[in-house]
Amino acid sequence: MDKELTIAETFVILAQHPDKGRYRISDIQLNYGLLGAIIFDLASDKTIEVSDDRFLKVLSEKQLDNYYISAFSDVVKKNIRKQKRVKWWIKRIAQKANKIRKALLNGLQEKQLITIQQKRFLGLIPYRVAQLKDKSVQQSIIIDLRRIFRRERKVTEKDIALLCMIDACKMYKIIARDRKEAKSLQRVTHELVKDNVISVGIAKAIEEIQAAVTASVIVAAT
């Protein structure tokens, strides 16, 4: 995974259609997958942690204050004293999903990775269209993921986190050449998550966040 990109940024770039101003997964999958990826980012940076009893705890309020997606950190700060599990947090933060996505896309535009066009539906309702500016960045992510699946390089905690979001949001078709390979990649992902030694805190975060995102996607889609 690109060291200069966060897990959330990598997830969104991977989900983007390479040629059109739309995504290759549903809005539900995109929003919940993005929230899960952000929690992984904050857990990796030791800003938050998932405790033994599956509760989300803030370790550094200062780092949270400095987090560039204010819509996300604001929700966490307002509920910081509540003892709630990760699933509750994802549902609560999902209410701000559009603002969170907008902020992340603005950041990607500043990095010259996407372009954002302002348009109007029927000339009245404003909306934004994001499109990849440099398709090679997405292609590099896919190539790197395929290297991971072939076990050609060492897997990091951030790699595992990204793979879990790919699995939770059923994104294998973006990476695979056909349906048969997609099933194979899913099997390898489960093996990689099981076999790789990662920190206890990240392991708990991965288990809880993946379950919460998967459940949220299924419930929201019904």
Cα(202)–Cα(52) distance, integer angstroms = 11
Q: Phi and psi (nearest 5°) for 129?
A: -120, 120
Q: Which two tokens stand for residue 83?
A: 């003892």
Kindly give the confidence (pLDDT) of every residue in the chain, 222 residues in length, as a single tens digit, with 9 standing for 90 and above: 555 899 999 999 999 999 988 999 988 889 888 988 898 888 888 888 877 666 788 888 888 877 778 888 888 888 888 888 877 888 888 888 888 999 999 999 999 999 998 877 777 788 788 999 989 999 999 999 999 999 998 898 889 889 988 998 889 999 998 999 999 999 999 898 888 766 656 666 677 777 777 777 777 666
Residue 171: its pLDDT value, please? 94
Q: Which two tokens stand for residue 71?
A: 């819509």
Cα(165)–Cα(148) distance, integer angstroms = 15
Residue 115: its pLDDT value, please? 93
- The residue among 48, 65, 66, 67 whose CA lies nearest residue 57 is 48
- The residue among 214, 200, 187, 186 whose CA lies nearest residue 157 is 200
Residue 221: its pLDDT value, please? 61
Q: Give the CATH number of domain 7-221.
A: 1.10.3630.10
- The residue among 81, 82, 88, 63 whose CA lies nearest residue 73 is 63
Residue 125: its pLDDT value, please? 81
Residue 56: its pLDDT value, please? 80
Which pTM does this prediction carry? 0.87
Residue range 136-162, pLDDT digits in tens: 999 999 999 999 999 998 898 889 889
Count of beta carbons in the 10 Å neighbourhood of residue 128: 13
- The residue among 82, 100, 99 whose CA lies nearest residue 36 is 100
- 3-class secondary-structure state, position 66: coil
- The residue among 195, 181, 12, 127 whose CA lies nearest residue 116 is 127
Residue 175: its pLDDT value, please? 94
